[in-house]
Amino acid sequence: MSPILSAPPAPPPMHAPDGFFSVWLSIAGWIITLVMVGLAIRNTRSQLGERQIPLMGIVGAAIFAGQMLNFTIPGGTSGHLLGGTLAAIILGPWASVLVMTAVVVVQGLLFQDGGLLVMGINIINMGIITSFVGYFTYRHVKKLFKDSRGGMLAGAFAGAWLSLIVTSAFAAVELAVSGTSPMGIALPAMVGVHSLIGVGEGLLTVFALSFIFATRPDLLTGEAAPGQKAAGWVLTGLLLALAITLFAPLASPYSDGLERIAEAFAEPSEVEIAPVGFAVPEEAVFNGKFGESPYEILPDYTVPFLGESGASTIVAGMIGVLIVFGTAVGLATLTRVRKKEELST
């Protein structure tokens, strides 16, 4: 094998490289990731025992190889699997966190697909969020359909699709908080694109799962994965953190400054955001206010990349995320401790 190849890696790069997320957000990402990996190691130990290491390593390699299998989709491009939900359905959410972490680490180190400093954030997006959102959606939809095979497949589709939507929303918020992409553009663009990519992910997850269900139903052990209650708290924390980061800037004391900048931004943002054929009332643009575009989620929010307000937004967002996340992890730990006590009595 030649030492350095000029051609791009076979699977298209899909993780963010260094430089696109702010340093402080990246460090917060690493802290959250390390805590989650620690929790995942503790939670999976009882589930799989010493078998877990070869199993998770080889399943990680299979997810990686599975990501290389393309299928043609309309528009001349090809789609492929990401696999977080599939891994979580088969192995349970905690084991899936470890598998997906290994996948992101290998892709970042060996293939330079994803930066090293931002690796924590990439693991959160590609591993932690997809595993938990996918798994819980799957469980709940499946229960809704009384655990039938159809319900299982519907749950897998919904889980895989939703996991991509949520993770793309997170990525957009992270880009906006880092000052790389304005929220008004990043959020609708990322969520919009991923609501289509998510269909591919959903279909692949469903067909892969139905194949496994037909050939080795005994492998679907994720059903009995422990630490589900704890995992539920983590999911709640993640979603709360997203909600807070999305809406915190509206309550920011710097909103005057933000609005001033938003005024300057109004016209270009409007052009960028408005879908083709969507007429923008001219007065609205001149008033510095956005039109009633269906994508306007945060009308007055624009992330400035210069000045104090930018730093304050980043810090505020990060603190919010960390507090909520810390609470969730704390609750998760408490729940597990209580469970252990119940078992011992």
Partner 1 sequence: MIQLQHLNPTEADTALHRLDPRVKLIVALSLILITGLMPSGAFGAYIALFALMMAEAIIARVSPVLVVARSLAVLPFSLAAVTLIFTGPEPYLAALPVTGWPISEPGLVQCVSIVFKSLISVQAAILLIATTHFTTLLWAMSSLRIPGVLVAIISFMYRYLFLLADEAARLSRARDSRSAVPAGSPVTARSLIFRARTTGRMIGSLLVRAFERSERVYNAMLSRGYTGAPMQIDPPQLCPRDVLIGLIPVLIAASLLAISLII
268-307 binders of partner 1 (CB under 8 A): 268-269, 271-272, 302, 304-306
Total number of residues that touch partner 1 (CB under 8 A): 101
Contacting residues for 148 by C-beta, under 8 A, at least 6 apart: none
Residue 216 binds partner 1 (CB under 8 A)? yes
Residue 1 binds partner 1 (CB under 8 A)? yes
The pair of structure tokens assigned to 147 is: 């655990």
Residue 50 binds partner 1 (CB under 8 A)? yes
Contacting residues for 344 by C-beta, under 8 A, at least 6 apart: none
Residues 62-101 that bind partner 1 (CB under 8 A): 62-66, 68-74, 79, 81, 83, 86, 90, 98-99, 101
Binder to partner 1 among 56, 169, 235, 329 (CB under 8 A)? 56
- Nearest distance, CB of residue 139 and partner 1, angstroms: 20
The pair of structure tokens assigned to 43 is: 């939670």
- Nearest distance, CB of residue 181 and partner 1, angstroms: 5
User: How many residues make up the chain in this entry?
Assistant: 345
The pair of structure tokens assigned to 184 is: 């008004």
**SS3 per residue for 73-141:** ECCCEEECCCCHHHHHHHHCHHHHHHHHHHHHHHHHHHHCCCCCCCHHHHHHHHHHHHHHHHHHHHHHH
Residue 291 CB neighbours (<10 A): 18
- Nearest distance, CB of residue 50 and partner 1, angstroms: 3
Query: Contact region for partner 1 (CB under 8 A) — 46-54, 124-132, 292-300, 323-331?
Result: 46-54
Query: Contact region for partner 1 (CB under 8 A) — 111-119, 136-144, 227-235, 315-323?
Result: 111-119
DSSP state at residue 251? G
Query: For residues 302 and 300, what is the distance between their CA atoms, to the nearest angstrom?
Result: 7
Residues 183-202 that bind partner 1 (CB under 8 A): 185-186, 200
Pick from 238, 247, 33: nearest CA to 136: 238
Residues 217-236 that bind partner 1 (CB under 8 A): 219
- Pattern 8-27, binding to partner 1, x per CB under 8 A? xxx-xx--xxxxx-xx--x-
Q: Which long-range contacts (CB under 8 A, 24 or more apart) does 61-65 make?
A: 63/87, 63/99, 63/100, 63/103, 64/103, 64/106, 64/107
Binder to partner 1 among 115, 120, 227, 237 (CB under 8 A)? 115
Residue 150 binds partner 1 (CB under 8 A)? no
Residue 7 binds partner 1 (CB under 8 A)? yes
Residue 160 binds partner 1 (CB under 8 A)? no
